[in-house]
Structure 1
Amino acid sequence: MAKRRSERPILITDAARSQDDQLRSRQRRYLLMMTIRAVCLVIGAVLVGTRAPLLWLWLPLCLLGMVLIPWLAVILANDRPPQDKHRLRNRSHPTPTEEAPQALPTQRTIDADD
């Protein structure tokens, strides 16, 4: 039997991601960037070994990738989601008073005792 619209649970969309999810995504991003760095190293070695045309162009690009990518990977791996925007407000400017939220229509609350 399909639930009526009023009986469906309300989703919390503003909830922050869990610490484990944040760590997992940062680890994946770091691993991806380090893999790209390793690919740059292999491509650079192959280009030097084969004396490829335009070596003067491709080799500095590979070297740049091998130097910049680890730096960026560490910075991004240690990056956290931004804090609440309200914490960055200047203290000399008072925050405007917010109006009381409108009363929501009565909805069914799911409780552990139900």
Structure 2
Amino acid sequence: MARDRRHEEVARITTAAESPKADIDHREKRYIISMTIRTLCFIGAVFARHIPWLCGILIVASFLLPYVAVVMANRASPILPGDPFEGPDHKEIE
């Protein structure tokens, strides 16, 4: 079977996606930062118990941040336009 070299896609380094390990490391870092902010909100609510409106905001934030942290951590790196491995048109190597 002859190959038509004009239609072969070549992966370019500028369109290559982030490595899976780097992607996971980046997502873990975002999660840890979000959960640290949540912990600080909860501790701040304890110290701000004499200011009801501030205490309420900090408690609500401490309950909402875990959801936001999980959504942010589960969001993978986007596939860059022109990536030869994007979408359902990916062809296996013959």
TM-score range, shorter chain: 0.5 to 0.7
Structure with higher RCO (Cα < 8 A, 6+ apart): 2
CA offset digits 1:79-111 (Å, max 9, x no partner): 1123466749xxxxxxxxxxxxxxxxxxxxxxx
Structure 1 residue 31 corresponds to structure 2 residue 32: yes
Structure 2 residue corresponding to 1:72, chosen from 68, 75, 78: 68
Q: Where do 4+ consecutive residues of structure 1 move more than 6 Å?
A: none
Look up the match of 1:63: 59
Structure 1 residue 15 corresponds to structure 2 residue 19: no
Look up the match of 1:95: none
CA offset digits 1:42-76 (Å, max 9, x no partner): 1111112xx2xxx2220121012111100010111
Q: Which has the larger radius of gyration?
A: 1
Q: Once the two structures are aligned, what percentage of the paired residues are identical?
A: 27
Q: CA deviation at 1:20?
A: 0.3
CA RMSD in angstroms, aligned pairs only: 2.1
> Which amino acid in 1 is paired with 2:67?
W
Q: May I ask how many residue pairs the two structures share in their alignment?
A: 73
> Which amino acid in 1 is paired with 2:48?
L
